[in-house]
Amino acid sequence: MSAPARRPFSREQRLTIIQGMLIFVLIVVVLQLWLLTATMNAWLGGDESLVWPAAAASAAGLALNVGLFVYLTRLERTRRGAA
């Protein structure tokens, strides 16, 4: 039994998907900006306990964003493969 062929999303669907992804990425980037300023302020004030947890949280945010970006490139490949 062969796997069913992957049907590419329609243009309207892709637009909706990318809008959702963009909003998610923007929220994560704003959180990362806040985290960076808060960490810098704490570190300059001598509080070193925040440095690595904040770096880990920021890296997790980046991983989420990169994951979405990889999904986007796959989406594009599916579309171009169908063309």
Give the residue with the Cβ less far from another protein, 1 or 5: 5
Least distance to another protein, CB of residue 1, Å: 28
Least distance to another protein, CB of residue 61, Å: 6
Structure-block tokens of residue 19: 């809008």
Q: How far apart are CA 64 and CA 41, in angstroms?
A: 25
Long-range contacts of 29-37 (CB under 8 A, 24+ apart): 29/61, 29/65, 31/61, 32/58, 32/61, 32/62
Least distance to another protein, CB of residue 6, Å: 13
The footprint of another protein (CB under 8 A) covers 8, 11-12, 14-15, 18-19, 21-22, 25-26, 28-29, 32-33, 35-36, 39-48, 51-52, 54-55, 58-59, 61-62, 65-66, 68-69, 72, 76, 79-80, 82-83
Q: How far apart are CA 9 and CA 72, in angstroms?
A: 12
